[in-house]
Amino acid sequence: MKVVYVSTLTEGGPVSHMLNLAPAVAHAGAHVRLLCGDSDIAARARDLGLDAEVAPLRNKADIARAVRMWPRLRGADIVHTQDRRALLLCGAAARALGARLVHTYHGLPEELVGLPGRPGARPVGPMVRSAWLLHGHLRVEALLVRLGALVVPSQTLASFLAAHGFPTRRIHVLPSRIDIRRWEPGPPHQPVRLVAVARLERHKGIDVLVEACARLAEQAPPIHLDIYGDGSLRPDLERRARMHRLNATFHGQVPSVRDRLLEADLFVLPSRGENLPITILEAMAIGLPVVATRVGGIAELVQDGVTGLLVEPDDVDGLANALAALVDDPERRAAMGRSGIRRIAERFDASEAGTEMLDLYREQLCASST
């Protein structure tokens, strides 16, 4: 079976997901090729032993580059797109060239990201744009999905999409998976090191984390906050951290961020909305306890009180109290870290990712021949 993965993104969870999944599918027996958003991702894929090419699509109107890319899809049995742009510009072409289409739905537009699993939530941003995204944009995506199969990593998001016009029979809930990197948490640090990995945009809630850490500094032992990622809010977040005199480092985008997690004691993700964050999987796979918000598919990963602590979004006091409870208790952190490793082994182990996805591909190919 020949599988072509198409990703137009140059950073973030969808890229990490693809670089985790594609080697597993290759190991399971498929011939895999990647069309990547930039040369760095292609190089990382080649380092994993994969056939990878650079095929950038700059925006959803980049039809000229898309047309030049289409011949590279020829001969594929499965074309698996990894983002909206790839689906929009390559989905119909893949079908026209005789391939079966699979698309992974990694997440909603930022204005809608806080809606799944929270019935009382409302879109953010200008009313007209929010209405278009909810009642227009989603309908267009639902039509595109009819070209093939839709993979959704969390049940929460799958239920939301089904309620907004996506064909239920085409939705397949397959969680992201990760390899376990160590079976025992690392030794504690002094000061205690908190780490967050996120785009520095509103929906990731890093502003809430900065304020919570300011309150935490008044009631807990010394901490150091490491923030990996970049975005439009970085200057404001750095200003707030300086104003509160936080012991915090904004690292920006760095290579091999998974290795940086090995230096931490506690992982934090205070998002206002999520799907099934790869970063939480990466943290749990090295034995870090997780403090996160009860949004999207996070509760499908983090067992409150067992592998970490869950709080409500935008709750500065709740987040500060949860962090304080674990900063003060290294033994509890270690116990939660061990529980997180066990949960990855039981539910999200990468060893099953290749065969699981290959079964879906075979199902699609069989459906096309009947």
Return the closest-CA partner of residue 57 out of 69, 75, 45. 69
Tokens of 100: 């079966």
Return the closest-CA partner of residue 85 out of 10, 193, 173, 178. 10
Quick one: CATH architecture of 2-177+350-368? 3-Layer(aba) Sandwich (3.40)
Tokens of 315: 């709750």
Domain positions in the chain are 2-177+350-368, 192-348
Classify the C-alpha dihedral 123-126-128-129 as positive or negative.
Answer: negative
Chain center to CA of 52: 21
Cross-strand pairs, 101: 79
Domains 2-177+350-368 and 192-348 in one fold: yes
pLDDT at 220: 65
Would you say the pTM of this structure is higher than 0.85? yes
Residue 248 identity: A
Which residue's entry shows tokens 């025992």?
184
pLDDT at 368: 61
Q: Do 28 and 3 contact (CB within 8 A), yes or no?
A: no
pLDDT of the chain, 370 residues: tens digit per residue: 999 999 999 888 889 889 999 999 999 999 999 999 999 999 999 999 999 999 888 888 889 999 999 999 999 999 999 999 999 999 999 999 999 999 999 989 888 989 998 888 888 888 898 889 888 889 989 998 899 999 999 999 999 999 999 999 999 999 989 999 999 999 999 999 999 999 999 999 999 999 999 998 777 678 999 999 999 999 999 999 999 999 999 999 888 888 999 999 999 999 999 988 999 999 999 999 999 999 999 999 999 999 999 999 999 999 999 999 999 999 999 999 999 999 999 999 888 899 999 999 999 999 865 4
Q: Which CATH class is domain 192-348?
A: alpha beta
pLDDT at 370: 46
Burial of 187 (0-12, 13-18, 19+ CB in 10 A): exposed
